[in-house]
Structure 1
């Protein structure tokens, strides 16, 4: 349905990953071998924190309904800015219209959120889930996607205090509402959430067949594995990437995030935790 990447580490120009890798996000917008749809040309978005923003800073956003491969502004912007943490997303619309307010990532205060996947039969469950959003947050829903509703529902259920617990409640509610409307497998996707300091990447589906999700190995390990690869020297020791699918073909660079798992990335590296795993 979509493809996305998230970066955290030393300040980096987004173009390094979004444009310049072998299988960059822009390349995946034209040809996504592991995606549900090979072409993701229904808009894109970039969200980034400035170097001194930290957990309390408001991230900047750039959204466009142009195909990512055809937007000169994306090329200019992604080569001009540097950020220690940024999200990027290319969209394959699955029903909601192609418009800027439906482009990911979504923002609230210092939080960013993006999603690959969807809620099955969203038209049937949209009313119940939207009405569960806190009234103070409802005016911030600008578009018509299931992803934006899920984000604001997670905010309602405590995302700012405990992202894993809030996402657990959000997905459980989406499944309960879906089942009440006779939807057998309501939730599908990978989700990225950040407060500007920590990154949470979730992989889950009601059917147990989630969209793909990978994260990079530690840079020191990669530089030892591939000392001849000049490109790896562009990354600092704390650089990490979480992606819908690998950005290159080098074995061992990208590690698959297991089904029903949240990968938490903070200053000490990755920590995998079960997420809504079957009992």
Structure 2
């Protein structure tokens, strides 16, 4: 399983999420506390928004804790909205194209979880990607397929519905051709203006997600695990919930894909 963290608000340095906190994303890559595997060393990535509509993207295959370039980038770059991810592969190869986040146009997406038995229905899943989006299929992960399927389902106009429909289609394939757990998901995504997150599973084990407002940074953090172990104010996103952060507005809605 993977760990991820996202932020939206007044511009901050990436290191305020990625490397500076006691339980930062880099620390979680070495010793996560709320996932099946404590080490997440199969690559990392960060997508950040600045003055252009499309996000910047930096990904590599090294463990996040061992890459000095990541620390340097995080120390110097400020952003009002970014997604960062450390990877623990569930079967696909360790390659840059398999590292999250994934981006298409102004959208960015990252995921923790799995569609059970994906290796047995990868071809059928790929066929669910619309022809006009298939050029963006660079890697071999179920996460990238899910993102491209959601784009094809109308992510631009209906983020919650599009992601839900994509999750339902992928879960159906897992039930038909794959294995349990058919779907476990915590995901974060953004169009450059809003930040969304979802938590869902087909069983009773949904990957963890928390969110918190920071008066210091004047922004929201959404994370797999709290960034400070002794810090108050973290709210757990309940399983089966979709979160939207848009300025001062926080919207929580039901997320129950129909398989």
Judge conservation of contact 1:104–1:113 (CA < 8 Å) in 2: yes
Q: Structure 1 runs of 4+ off > 4 angstroms? A: none
Find out whether 1:37 has 2:32 as its counterpart: no
Larger radius of gyration: 1
Determine the structure 1 residue equivalent to 2:124: 128
Q: What SS class does the counterpart of residue 45 from structure 1 fall into? A: strand
Cα deviation for residue 250 of structure 1 reads 2.9
Determine the structure 2 residue equivalent to 1:262: 242
Cα deviation for residue 272 of structure 1 reads 1.1
Label 1:37 to 1:184 Cα distance change in 2 as closer, same or farther (>3 A): closer
- What is the aligned length? 258
Determine the structure 2 residue equivalent to 1:161: 157
Instruction: Compute the RMSD of aligned alpha carbons.
Output: 1.4
Q: Of 65, 71, 89, which aligns to 1:69?
A: 65
Cα deviation for residue 132 of structure 1 reads 1.1
Determine the structure 1 residue equivalent to 2:106: 110
Scaled by the length of structure 2, what TM-score is found?
A: 0.96
* Unaligned stretches of 5+ residues in structure 2: none
Cα deviation for residue 269 of structure 1 reads 3.1
Judge conservation of contact 1:18–1:88 (CA < 8 Å) in 2: yes
Q: What SS class does the counterpart of residue 210 from structure 1 fall into? A: coil
Q: What SS class does the counterpart of residue 238 from structure 2 fall into? A: coil
Q: Of 194, 198, 218, which aligns to 1:198?
A: 194
Q: Using the alignment, how far apart are the partners of 2:17 and 2:172 within structure 1?
A: 38
* Unaligned stretches of 5+ residues in structure 1: 221-232
Q: What SS class does the counterpart of residue 143 from structure 1 fall into? A: coil
Q: Using the alignment, how far apart are the partners of 1:240 and 1:41 within structure 2?
A: 26
Scaled by the length of structure 1, what TM-score is found?
A: 0.89
Q: What SS class does the counterpart of residue 138 from structure 1 fall into? A: helix
Q: Using the alignment, how far apart are the partners of 2:202 and 2:195 within structure 1?
A: 23
Determine the structure 2 residue equivalent to 1:243: 223
